[in-house]
Amino acid sequence: MNNTTFLDACRRREPEHSPVWFMRQAGRYLPSYKRLKDQRNIIDIVKDPELASDVAVDAVNALGVDAGIIFADIMVPLEGIGVKFKIEENVGPVVSNPIRSLEDVEALGSLDSRQALPYVLDGVRSTVAKLDDSVPLIGFSGAPFTLAAYMIEAGPSRNLEKTKTMIYSRPDVWEALMSKLTDAVKDYLSAQVQCGVSAVQLFDSWVGCLAAEDYERFVSPHTKKIFSSVSGVPRIHFCADSAPLVEKFHETGADALSVDWRVPIADVWRRCSEETAVQGNLDPVVASVGGLAMQTRVEGILEAARGHAGHIFSLGHGVLQNTNPESLRQIVQVVHARTRSRN
Ligand code: CP3
């Protein structure tokens, strides 16, 4: 592989320059993806491995980033255990058979990714082949909490009230659901690793709504099981709104913590350990504003990360739809130039 900067940073080896990639780098802000989306639904694209791999590779080429990410959605594996959902534009996932009871959990199947999701795995192989000798490919999964939240809320939710109600009033149902999802995520990630991804990222996007003690009791044991089952590739743990929980995330065994803009990036090394890699953490709104405001904050993050091994430059959450791709290309250039000249 020519470009090993991303994997070097994950392993806290001194990379040639700090690597950059963006969550949701393949999305509607890219004109080529928007044209495709006007004709096809995201799930149809995911089920077409040639197309899905082109989408992932096009984003890498359009931006000049140091890693690709497989083109899928966190909801995709849930079809393999019997969850019925749609991804609605500007809304997100909507589930038509939500989880309300222990019977609903028991009705879910267990995931055999090879059998139920061959298109995802073909998409992984095809993307790896198309990126061959250039940049590493990141595999991913939603984390059990965030997947459970979509399955319980059924649609968009501000405070995840139904999910938290289940945790506090029916911990037995919650545990049964989390155990099923943990097994499914383990199978899904290990299948991706076997098909050639170079790293995996676990998205626990919405777990920041929990108090630290509840995170520790109801979520973290499951996340630990997942990370300890993934071997041979770096493991990245993402969560938005994660400031009060970063120490707990570190304890799950991830190699890299992906944090948002609410945490000063150097605090993560200080609060957890110098032994962790840290990914982040420009506010996506700043990236969508662009210009000098963006440049100043990019340099601020680089300055804060200076002297710590293992920084992967990224946004604190996904790229927003109104972002100019040129602004992301500028970020890549600035990060590469500034961190290369340090060596
Ligand atoms: O380059 C990439 O990162 C693309 C692969 C990817 C998608 N979704 C494709 C997608 C990844 C890594 C995701 C992760 C994902 N999906 C998360 C975790 C990251 C995060 O943002 O917290 C979550 C919570 C979801 C659920 C989801 N899917 C939402 C909230 C939405 C947005 C709805 C909208 O229309 O704004 C989606 C849809 C989705 N997933 C899009 C893409 C490119 C955009 C809409 C589309 O193409 O139909």
Tens of pLDDT, residue by residue over 272-301, are: 999 999 999 999 999 999 999 999 999 999
Max CA separation in the chain (angstroms)? 59
Q: How far is the CA of 318 from the centre of ligand 1 (A)?
A: 8
Question: Closest ligand 1 atom to the C-alpha of 37?
Answer: 47
Q: Are 310 and 234 in contact (CB under 8 A)?
A: no
Q: How far is the CA of 339 from the centre of ligand 1 (A)?
A: 30
**Residue among 43, 47, 74, 261 to mutate when testing ligand 1 (max atoms within 8 A of CB):** 74
Mean pLDDT (the chain) is: 96
3 state SS of 203: strand
- CB count within 10 Å of CB 228 equals 12
Q: Are 233 and 252 in contact (CB under 8 A)?
A: no
Whether pLDDT at 343 is above 80? no
Order of strands, sheet of 311-315, starting from the edge strand that comes earlier in the sequence: 68-69, 137-142, 199-203, 235-238, 256-258, 277-282, 311-315
- Which residue ranges have their beta carbon within 6 Å of ligand 1? 23-28, 37, 42, 59, 69, 71-74, 87, 89-90, 92-93, 140, 203, 205, 317-318
Instruction: Enter the pTM of the model.
Output: 0.97
**Residue among 22, 24, 322 to mutate when testing ligand 1 (max atoms within 8 A of CB):** 24
320 confidence band (pLDDT: 50, 70, 90): very high
Q: How far is the CA of 24 from the centre of ligand 1 (A)?
A: 7
CA distance 16 to 14: 7
Q: How far is the CA of 247 from the centre of ligand 1 (A)?
A: 27
pLDDT the model gives residue 1: 77
Which residue lies with its CA nearest to atom 37 of ligand 1? 92
Q: Percent of the chain having pLDDT more than 90?
A: 95
> Which residues 6+ apart lie within 8 Å of 9 measured at CB?
15, 18, 19, 256, 277, 310, 311, 312
Chain-centroid distance, C-alpha 94: 19
Which residue lies with its CA nearest to atom 11 of ligand 1? 73
Which residue lies with its CA nearest to atom 42 of ligand 1? 27
Query: Crossing angle, helix 144-153 and helix 220-229, to 10 degrees?
Result: 130
Question: Closest ligand 1 atom to the C-alpha of 26?
Answer: 1
Strands 137-142 and 199-203: parallel
Q: What is the DSSP string of 24-60?
A: T-SSTTSHHHHHHHTTS-HHHHHT-HHHHHHHHHHHH
pLDDT tens digits, one per residue of 109-135 = 999 999 999 999 999 999 999 998 889
Which residue lies with its CA nearest to atom 13 of ligand 1? 73
**Residue among 87, 205, 320 to mutate when testing ligand 1 (max atoms within 8 A of CB):** 87
